[in-house]
Structure 1
């Protein structure tokens, strides 16, 4: 097994001891460089735990995690992350929030003071790319939820991560805004080419955005299906209403329903 992200025979227990909760057991997953992968499954199957393992925020009890050919033993600096809650700092403007990772991640932290103008322009360009041109000086409370999530994506991408981790980033949004942001994400991935892992409960979202969808079992989580999505890119949003698309959604739903029933 060889890929940009490799998880091999992962076993992880929360709490430790005989009363601990076995979250993952025998999990194997390989994501190729530049691939957009989606992970779906029953609630509590370990999807978010997988994200923490791939970014080095957690370590498994057994098995190995590799990113870009290196075993993960701590936080992965080449990763950007976006979550369901944008968690923007209310005392900072949108532009300042987007710039935040540059104050933390090397080598950008070291270069920021001398190259601030270039970094500011890069942040403005990202905001423009996601439809937020002219909103850099607004504070988070002056933005809608969808606008905050657009800014959140910019913040995750400002340091040019090779790996983008998305944990239910559109789950709290209304259906129309969610579909708008699917298209933003589609275009960002096409332009930047970063490897992406999306954790989601929305099967339409997974099939629309992903090259491959991984279906996980109920706890303890492991991969029970890898589904290749072959619709050509760029994918129009109208694709999500076509019969072939919805056939795949129903197929995935069937696997998840079986996994829940077997729990």
Structure 2
């Protein structure tokens, strides 16, 4: 990354991203948004609006054709090592134990790679503490195939946090889980965010998930994606699941659903 002036933890300024060259698909256009340090932000929108593209731009997996992306005040020009990532599919390596899967980023991130060889015990203790935090105490020696889907996702969160990232990017991490397990993990990530100063950006299709977890919600238009509205969420923290039955919570969800319905209608008209 190259230096820019200090600013928000995530800054996206007038970004265009096109796949397949000059005549390829325009995924996002004029995309602009910012997330402050320590915030929990959620990004919602119709299918195919460019939410996952946004995630890859922030992590440096894609570099935009126009506009700028910055993380922690530095312009993104390559993959960003200070970011932790968790996805809908936990992609645990089946031949490694849960503990060794969690330690994997430390073998890749340059500042940890050499140190883990001489301070492995310290890192193992840290991984075991994370496992206990997400309700997996004693499961470090198990292989992924011995864990349920929800347990694998909990371990995936530990892996995303093991190198103490300043920014945690979550791309539909709970979408493949049953409703009960999904709500359990909402509380896990709520507590992790509450107990640290990590900044979180969550991409999700679940509006209740966004409103329950986030401080700010960004709604994207249909492709090519851009931010069409922002919504502050002022419910006090920590939030209990019972808040989802309150009228104020439902009002926010319905408001967001209305914006997305409008975006879908505009997409249909364009087609």
Q: Give the TM-score, by structure 2 length.
A: 0.95
Q: Tell me the SS of whatever aligns to 1:187.
A: helix
* Equivalent residue, structure 2, for 1:15: 20
* Equivalent residue, structure 1, for 2:184: 180
Partner Cα separation in structure 2 for residue 213 and residue 151 of structure 1: 26
Partner Cα separation in structure 1 for residue 252 and residue 49 of structure 2: 21
* Equivalent residue, structure 2, for 1:85: 89
Shift of 1:181: 0.1
Partner Cα separation in structure 1 for residue 184 and residue 209 of structure 2: 11
Partner Cα separation in structure 2 for residue 16 and residue 103 of structure 1: 34
1:41 and 2:35 aligned: no
1:4 and 2:13 aligned: no
Shift of 1:50: 0.3
Please, which of 156, 160, 177 is the counterpart of residue 156 of structure 1? 160
CA contact (8 A) 1:2 1:30 kept: no
Please, which of 182, 189, 194 is the counterpart of residue 190 of structure 1? 194
* Equivalent residue, structure 2, for 1:29: 33
**Cα deviations across residues 138-194 of structure 1 (Å, max 9, x unaligned)?**
111110000000000000000000000000000000000000000000000011220
Q: Give the TM-score, by structure 1 length.
A: 0.98
Please give the residue correspondences for 1:211-230 in structure 2 after superposition, counting only pairs within 5 Å.
211-230=215-234
Q: Tell me the SS of whatever aligns to 2:253.
A: helix
CA RMSD of aligned residues (A): 0.9
Shift of 1:107: 1.0
Please, which of 88, 97, 112 is the counterpart of residue 101 of structure 2? 97
Q: Which runs of 5+ in 2 are unaligned?
A: 1-5
Shift of 1:59: 0.5
Q: Tell me the SS of whatever aligns to 1:182.
A: helix
Please, which of 129, 146, 150 is the counterpart of residue 146 of structure 1? 150
Q: Tell me the SS of whatever aligns to 1:113.
A: helix
1:165 and 2:172 aligned: no
Partner Cα separation in structure 1 for residue 205 and residue 117 of structure 2: 41
**Cα deviations across residues 234-253 of structure 1 (Å, max 9, x unaligned)?**
00011112111011001000
Runs of 4+ with deviation above 3 angstroms: none
* Equivalent residue, structure 1, for 2:3: none
Partner Cα separation in structure 1 for residue 104 and residue 22 of structure 2: 39
Count how many residue pairs are aligned between Structure 1 and Structure 2: 262
**Cα deviations across residues 99-141 of structure 1 (Å, max 9, x unaligned)?**
1001111211110011110000000000000000000101111
Shift of 1:232: 0.1
Shift of 1:2: 3.5
Q: Tell me the SS of whatever aligns to 2:118.
A: coil
1:59 and 2:63 aligned: yes
Partner Cα separation in structure 1 for residue 148 and residue 244 of structure 2: 25
Please, which of 110, 122, 128 is the counterpart of residue 106 of structure 1? 110
Partner Cα separation in structure 1 for residue 228 and residue 22 of structure 2: 27
Please, which of 123, 128, 133 is the counterpart of residue 124 of structure 1? 128
